[in-house]
Structure formats: C-alpha cells, structure tokens
Amino acid sequence: MRRRHIYLCANYSQWLRLFDVEAPILRSEGHQVDCRWIQGDHQMIQGLEPGVEMSAKYEVNQRIAHRDYHDLRCCDTLIYFYSPEGSNRGGRHVEFGIALERQMDIFIIGKLENVFHYLPGIQRFDCLVDALEALRS
C-alpha cells in the first residue's frame, strides 16, 4: 500500500468534521494528513480595508496563508470536500488549483463544483470511505 501525504481541502466551516472524522479514517489507513488548518486554530480576519498592509490583522492573515501553502506543498495528494453551503472566500478553490498545477493526485468527495473538476485524472467519490480503495493504489 502506498503511504500518502494528504492535504484536506474544504470550506473552513468543515474543519471540525475533518479533524474529528475524516483525518482519523485516513490515518488509520496509514496515511499522513498534513494540513494544520483543520485544527481550527486559524480563522482568517475578514474586512481588511486597502492600506492596512502593515497592520497586525494583515500579518495574521499572511501567516495563515504561508502556513497553509507550506502544508499543501509538502503533500502528494489533495482530497477536496464539496461544500453545500458555499463560501465567498474561495481558499479551497485556490488550493485545488495549486494541487492541479503541481500534478498532485486529486480526489473529490461529493459534487463537482466547477469546470476544472472535470479534468482527466481527477477522481470523484460520494464519501471518503468510497475513496479508500483508490487511495491505497
């Protein structure tokens, strides 16, 4: 079985379910989950106005972005979780794009949300348990 380094990609509101349910399933299969954002300890500060680049709020968001980007670049697999409630922030779409450009293995759990989800090589499953066999190869 191949041991994967996995980044979980989803709407931030799903962090607790990913931390409590999905990540333990993957770890029990021998995979490493490398995304600190699911610990729920960094929420982006919204509502920053132009010209606040040097503020403490700006620096917090910058640290969060650097940490997430580093975690994603250390992985070989991205698992993207569909979010029925949507989000206006779009971080998960950026993470998906980075994974696509880096030619990572990409698995989508749930519905396909945009045209890029239809590209060849991207695998879609109804739930994480359904994807486990594909993750083993």
Q: What is the pLDDT of residue 123?
A: 98
Give the whole-angstrom CA distance, residue 6 versus residue 78.
6
Domain spanning 5-43+53-136: which CATH class is it, in words? alpha beta
Domain residue limits, the chain? 5-43+53-136
State mean pLDDT over 95-120.
Answer: 97
pLDDT band at 114 (very low <50, low <70, confident <90, very high): very high
Q: What is the pLDDT of residue 104?
A: 98
pTM: 0.90
Give the bridge partners for 131, in sequence order.
Answer: none
Dihedral sign for Cα 70, 71, 75, 80, please.
negative
Residue 101 CB: number of other CB atoms within 10 A?
A: 8
Q: What is the pLDDT of residue 85?
A: 72
**In this structure, are strands 123-125 and 5-9 parallel, antiparallel, or unpaired?**
unpaired
At 52-104, the pLDDT tens digits run 555 777 788 888 999 999 999 999 999 999 988 766 678 999 999 999 999 99
pLDDT band at 118 (very low <50, low <70, confident <90, very high): very high
Give the whole-angstrom CA distance, residue 124 versus residue 54.
41
Dihedral sign for Cα 110, 124, 17, 103, please.
negative
Q: How many CA atoms lie within 13 A of 65 on its CB side?
A: 12
At 10-58, the pLDDT tens digits run 998 899 999 999 999 999 999 999 999 999 876 676 665 666 555 777 7
